[in-house]
Amino acid sequence: MLLQCLPAFDDNYIWLLRDAGARALVVDPGEAAPVLAVLGDAPPLAILLTHHHADHIGGVADLLARWPGTPVFAPHDDRIPQASRRVADGEQLAIGDWRFAVLAVPGHTRSHVAYHGEGLLFCGDTLFSLGCGRLFEGTPAQMQASLARLATLPGDTRVCCAHEYTLGNAAFALTVDPDNPALRERVAAVRAQRAAGRPTLPTTLAGERACNPFLRCDAPTVRAAAEAHAGHALPDAVAVFGALRAWKDGFRA
């Protein structure tokens, strides 16, 4: 099994998973050109979509024009017209020799899903390395619940986010949790990766649980930082998450 992240636009990643026979699964192709350049004449087994934003689905039409009939898995959302199969929370997908579970993770959008299987998590814009997605359609309670759900997956799960945001997220994470040794070590590694022109993804879920403030809303240091910024006590993890997300929305390093 070969996992590839294909750069797209300024900071997107399109994920490609290949089996031993070089058959491919494509995840969130915001544009077609990177996929076409890699696959050549070999059609993909399927396309997985996490949510409706154009930088995640914009290349699907061109891929289907090249390979008509390619299965397209997507959440129940009319804003994704190319879907050939709608998926919902709890479904088990069999694609070639791979098996994936569908997880509903609303927050960034109301219909966002993630795909978990084969030791991988394709999470779109819900969970980022050292960060999380903005709340365009969901509530803090929804997003915090979605992130908490992802955090229960096995620690060695490779987290395949859809954007190279890690270095920017690191500045905020260090502001919130500056004395976290795991975070400081992760940031040093991220800086070296980016200086060498390498992607910082995939990361691991264990690493995110240790370093990502949005997965650490119950940690005393993170709660204290959120309360200090908010200027008042925060009663629970949802309130801490909401304060962190609002802080991050206006944050400038």
- Catalytic residue (one of 28, 52, 55, 116): 55
pLDDT value at residue 22: 77
Q: How confident is the model at residue 51 (pLDDT cuts 50, 70, 90)?
A: very high
Residues 6+ apart with CB under 8 A from 78: none
Residue in 52, 56, 112, 116 annotated catalytic: 56
Confidence band, pLDDT 50/70/90 cuts, at residue 20 = confident
27 neighbors 17 (Cβ within 8 angstroms): yes
Q: What is the dihedral of CA 65, 69, 70, 74, to 10 degrees?
A: 100
Q: Which of 52, 112, 116, 163 is catalytic?
A: 163
Q: Is 112 assigned a catalytic role?
A: no
Tell me which of 52, 112, 116, 125 is the catalytic residue: 125
Residue 156 known to be catalytic: no
- Residue of 52, 108, 112, 116 with catalytic role: 108
Helices (H), 92-236: 140-151, 166-176, 181-195, 205-211, 220-230
Has 179 been annotated as catalytic? no
C-alpha span between 109 and 136 (Å, rounded): 6
28 is catalytic: no
Given the residues 28, 51, 52, 116, the one annotated as active site = 51
151 phi and psi, to 5 degrees? -65, -15
Per-residue confidence at 38, pLDDT binned at 50, 70, 90? very high
What are the backbone dihedrals phi and psi of residue 71, each rounded to the nearest 5 degrees, phi first?
-60, 135
Q: Is 125 a catalytic residue?
A: yes
Strands of 120-124's sheet in order across = 92-95, 98-104, 113-117, 120-124, 158-161, 203-204
List the Cα angle 200/202/208 in 5-degree steps: 90
pLDDT tens profile 126-151 = 999 999 999 999 999 999 999 999 99
Instruction: Examine the pLDDT at 66 and tell me if it is beyond 90.
Output: yes
Q: 99: which residues sit within 8 A by CB, 6+ positions away? A: 92, 93, 117, 118
Report the alpha-carbon distance of residue 36 to residue 136 in Å, rounded: 31
Q: Known catalytic residue: 249? A: no
Q: Which helix (H) or strand (E) holds 56?
A: helix 54-57
CB 205 within 8 A of CB 159: yes
Its pTM stands at 0.97
**Number of other residues whose CB lies within 10 A of the CB of residue 118:** 17
163 flagged as catalytic: yes
Out of 52, 53, 112, 116, which one is annotated catalytic? 53
**pLDDT per residue as tens digits for the range 69-112:** 999 999 999 999 999 999 999 999 999 999 999 999 999 999 99
